[in-house]
Amino acid sequence: MKFKMFGVVFGLALLAVTLSAGAPAAARTGAAKAAGAAGKAQILACTLDPSMAQGGWVSESYVFAIKGDSVAVADRIALVTNGNQPIEGKVVDSSAKKMAFSWTATTRDSRGQITKMAYRGSYFPATGKVIVKAKPTGYRNTFEARGTCTSK
């Protein structure tokens, strides 16, 4: 799947950056309009509160563009590791109570060591709550952060 099906990929990236940077309201509104051009995709803008213990593997903000069983994920890690483009993922669970997504990102730490991280995001529409978990493949560690999402 190409991200072109979601419409303006730049809008998603811009929305993620402006939400995390605390940009002025006009910039946030413009980014939301650009992301809205993504057609029939459901857009979730999420803010999380990862602790320092998460080692930077879970971002402070995410934008999920959901269309059918596919999801485009834009966050700090996705944009850095994927050439300023959202990462393609899939919807692995969808019900009235919960929607869950999974995606992977190949990252490089400060020592140059390459790690493939498996991510899972769970969104609860009734409360707007979100949980994002990151797990380095081949290791037992799991990193988690919780927050809230708004539908755009």
Q: What is the pLDDT of residues 57-114, one digit of tens each?
A: 899 999 999 999 999 999 999 999 999 999 999 999 999 999 999 999 998 777 888 8
Cβ 68 vs Cβ 6: under 8 Å: no
Q: Which residues of 83-111 are buried (b: 16+ CB within 10 A; e: fewer)?
A: eebbbbbebeeeeeeebbbbbbbebeeee
Average pLDDT, the chain: 79
Q: Are strands 70-75 and 61-67 parallel, antiparallel or unpaired?
A: antiparallel
The angle, 0 to 180 degrees and rounded to 10, between the axes of the packed helices 25-36 and 9-21 is: 150
How sure is the predictor about 17, in pLDDT bands with cuts at 50, 70 and 90? Answer: very low
Q: What is the bridge-based pairing of β-strands 143-151 and 129-136? A: antiparallel
What pLDDT is attached to residue 7? 41
Q: Provide the pLDDT confidence category of residue 2 given band limits of 50, 70 and 90.
A: very low
Q: Which pLDDT score, from 0 to 100, does residue 14 have?
A: 42
* 134-145 mean pLDDT: 92
Whole-model pTM over 0.85: no
Q: Please identify which residue in the block is written with the tokens 């934008």.
A: 63
